[in-house]
């Protein structure tokens, strides 16, 4: 990873949520995530307001490994570059899925259980993410951010037929 890369991971802790469970969920995807303002577990009901928890992390490695294990690297590339300008990208993961150790990208409305919001800053970010999500299947079907095979903005898949196999 280049010295100019910055990865910021954030989530919102609502007043009814247990801070330890939220911390555990985010750390399943980002083990070195450690926000400074982590509140203590309070008693319920509480009058406290929601808290935005933010911390830099060193790597996307655990998240990418989970995507690799479940064979969703092309989906990961599409989701991570959907809101990219080539140097900065923002995307979200389902916090509830992360709590179960699963990498699930959020591309439409916020899911039950909240989101983990990631911002990545890097020169040639699209190239970096393309390399990071590379897999042997791209030898026969090459991919790049925003290509004709990319998912639609609402997260639905693009229909295509490989004419070489007809």
Percent of the chain whose pLDDT exceeds 90: 54
Answer whether 0.85 is exceeded by the pTM: no
Instruction: For residue 39, give both structure tokens.
Output: 């509140």
101 closest CA partner among 66, 151, 146: 66
Q: What is the pLDDT of residues 129-160, one digit of tens each?
A: 989 998 887 666 656 665 665 555 655 555 54
Least confident interval from 6-15, 68-77, 112-121, 155-164: 155-164
């Amino acid at each position: 990873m280049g010295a100019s890369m910055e990865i910021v991971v954030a989530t919102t802790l609502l007043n009814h949520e247990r801070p330890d469970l939220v911390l555990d969920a985010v750390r399943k995807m980002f083990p070195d995530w450690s926000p400074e303002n982590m509140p203590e577990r309070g008693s319920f009901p509480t009058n406290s307001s929601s808290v935005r928890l933010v911390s830099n992390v060193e790597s996307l490695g655990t998240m990418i490994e989970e995507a690799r294990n479940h064979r969703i690297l092309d989906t990961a590339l599409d989701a991570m570059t959907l809101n990219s300008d080539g140097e900065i990208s923002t995307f979200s993961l389902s916090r509830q899925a992360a709590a179960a150790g699963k990498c699930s990208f959020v591309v439409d409305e916020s899911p039950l259980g909240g989101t983990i919001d990631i911002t990545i800053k890097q020169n040639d970010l699209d190239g970096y993410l393309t390399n990071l999500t590379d897999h042997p299947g791209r030898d026969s079907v090459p991919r790049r951010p925003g290509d004709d095979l990319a998912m639609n903005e609402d997260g639905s898949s693009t229909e295509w037929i490989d004419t070489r196999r007809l």
